[in-house]
């Protein structure tokens, strides 16, 4: 188990029926889920699932209705007992815990947010948020302070004394999220948490979760049947079919290398502009000038030899400083003291490598040249041009044509 692995699931099964051992024996003999059901009437809800969830990531489990995703997430905190397999959190196997040990584990390490808001109408927002802490025996002053902190995190501190019927659907779901946060969980499980919301509020809640994750870096397992939602919030995605985990990877990895036709069908027609980032499509095919060695004359010669109109200026550590053009260099060459810096084009703003290409289409379309792409340290990673964007956006159409 890696130091960065928070949750490790190994060979996890769930059989629904009176004689699970019989179903497991048939599975080991090579029968599939359908054949086992036909012979025994028992259903394999989760079949030999194995994956890891890294500390601080949003891990999305998705699949069609009946794929086993909700059964899987309920086994992660033993709301449903597994038939076989391991569920290891920080070195402890939840699957082997006795009732008392499991109750203590749930209180200290794990919280769950359901699709239904499950708020008690006679309690205030603050009381609803603190309810889990009250059940755990936390004293009033501490639980109210922790609940208020959680409400502040989801932007509802001003509504602490309101009642659920005074809140919108999105606000009610924020209370459910705050209630989970108040326990300060090591792992947060979210089962279709936003699917009951209308599309606009759902999008806002997704943004809220991503923003909260930027600050807190919690470990989150998020169940969804919505591909757009999974691509938007997930650091990695697990695709389930018929109780099996058929592929795990980043959105980009799964989009570009689907494991089978089932996974490929999920991504047919997906808007790649929400998946690919500037760093995914940037290339280093343009002229690069090292600032320390660059003069206006040398830059003109290099651009001329390469047959290009622009050059991107970096320092010896490859940190970006500016972009020059043939026209700006020629104009500067006629000044008394030509200086490469004075030839930098104004208004060419670099793009962060982790920005989705959907956010930069307008910027690239209006720019006089390809826009430089930088990593978090300002290191030059390449250029995104209109041609590269069109190629990336057309990729899915060509694959599905």
pLDDT digits (tens, 9 = 90+) for 88-130: 998 889 999 998 888 888 877 888 777 666 788 898 889 888 8
5-14+53-274 — its CATH code?
3.40.50.300
Res. 132: pLDDT tops 90: no
Nearby residues of 20 by Cβ (< 8 Å), 6 or more positions away: 42, 83
- Taking the domains of the chain in order of start, what are their residue ranges? 5-14+53-274, 288-395
Q: What is the pLDDT of residue 308?
A: 85
Q: How far apart are CA 110 and CA 76, in angstroms?
A: 9
First to last CA, the chain: 43
Q: How far apart are CA 274 and CA 262, in angstroms?
A: 21
Nearby residues of 283 by Cβ (< 8 Å), 6 or more positions away: 382, 383, 388
Q: How far apart are CA 197 and CA 169, in angstroms?
A: 7
Mean pLDDT of the 172-182 span: 83
Q: What is the pLDDT of residue 10?
A: 94
Q: What is the pLDDT of residue 273?
A: 64
Residue 101 CB coordination number (10 Å): 12
Mean pLDDT of the 170-178 span: 82
118-122, 134-138, 325-329, 375-379: segment of lowest average pLDDT: 134-138
Length of the chain: 401
Residue range 275-322, pLDDT digits in tens: 678 888 888 777 777 766 568 888 888 888 888 888 888 888 888 999
Tell me the residue ranges of DSSP E strands in 17-157: 43-54, 58-62, 84-89, 92-93, 110-113
pTM, two decimal places: 0.67
Q: How far apart are CA 292 and CA 86, in angstroms?
A: 57
Report the CATH fold assignment for 288-395: CBS-domain (3.10.580)
Nearby residues of 31 by Cβ (< 8 Å), 6 or more positions away: 39
Higher pLDDT, 252 or 342: 342
* 27: enclosing H helix or E strand: helix 20-28
- Side-chain half-sphere of 150: how many Cα atoms within 13 Å? 27
Res. 72: pLDDT tops 90: yes
Q: What is the pLDDT of residue 347?
A: 86
Q: Which residue is associated with the tokens 């309690």? A: 123
Pick the closest to residue 48 from 222, 210, 246 (CA basis): 246
Mean pLDDT of the 139-153 span: 86
Instruction: Tell me the pLDDT of the chain averaged across its residues.
Output: 84
Q: What is the pLDDT of residue 268?
A: 67
112-116, 130-134, 347-351, 355-359: segment of lowest average pLDDT: 112-116
Q: Are 225 and 46 in contact (CB under 8 A)?
A: no
């Amino acid at each position: 188990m890696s130091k960065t692995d928070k949750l490790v699931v190994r060979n996890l099964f769930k059989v629904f029926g009176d004689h699970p051992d019989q179903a497991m024996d048939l599975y080991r003999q090579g029968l599939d889920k359908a054949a086992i059901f036909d012979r025994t009437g028992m259903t394999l809800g989760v079949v030999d699932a194995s994956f890891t969830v890294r500390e601080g990531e949003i891990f999305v489990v998705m699949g069609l209705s009946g794929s086993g995703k909700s059964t899987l997430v309920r086994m992660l905190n033993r709301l449903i007992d597994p038939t076989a397999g391991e569920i290891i959190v920080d070195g402890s196997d939840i699957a082997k815990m006795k009732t008392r040990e499991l109750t203590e584990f749930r209180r200290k390490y794990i919280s769950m947010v359901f699709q239904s808001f499950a708020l008690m109408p006679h309690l205030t927002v603050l009381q609803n948020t603190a309810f889990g802490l009250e059940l755990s025996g936390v004293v009033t002053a501490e639980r109210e302070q922790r609940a208020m902190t959680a409400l502040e995190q989801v932007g509802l501190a001003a509504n602490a004394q309101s009642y659920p019927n005074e809140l919108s659907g999105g606000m009610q779901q924020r209370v459910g999220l705050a209630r989970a946060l108040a326990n300060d969980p090591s792992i947060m499980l979210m089962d279709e948490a936003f699917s009951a919301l209308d599309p606009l509020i759902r999008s806002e809640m997704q943004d809220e979760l991503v923003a909260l994750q930027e600050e807190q870096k919690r470990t989150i397992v998020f169940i969804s049947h919505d591909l757009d939602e999974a691509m938007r919030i997930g650091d990695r995605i697990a695709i389930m079919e018929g109780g099996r985990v058929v592929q795990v990877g980043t959105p980009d990895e799964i989009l570009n290398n689907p494991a089978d036709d089932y996974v490929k069908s999920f991504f047919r027609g997906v808007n790649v502009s929400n998946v690919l980032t500037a760093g995914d499509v940037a290339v280093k095919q343009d002229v690069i000038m090292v600032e320390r060695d660059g003069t206006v004359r040398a830059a003109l010669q290099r651009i001329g030899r390469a047959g290009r109109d622009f050059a991107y200026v970096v320092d010896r550590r490859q940190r970006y400083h500016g972009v020059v053009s043939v026209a700006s260099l020629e104009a500067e060459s006629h000044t008394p003291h030509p200086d490469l810096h004075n030839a930098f084009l104004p208004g060419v703003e670099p793009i962060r490598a982790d920005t989705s290409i959907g956010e930069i289409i307008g910027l690239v379309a209006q720019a006089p040249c390809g826009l430089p792409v930088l990593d978090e340290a300002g290191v030059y990673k390449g250029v995104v041009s209109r041609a590269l964007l069109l190629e990336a956006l057309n990729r899915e159409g060509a694959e599905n044509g």
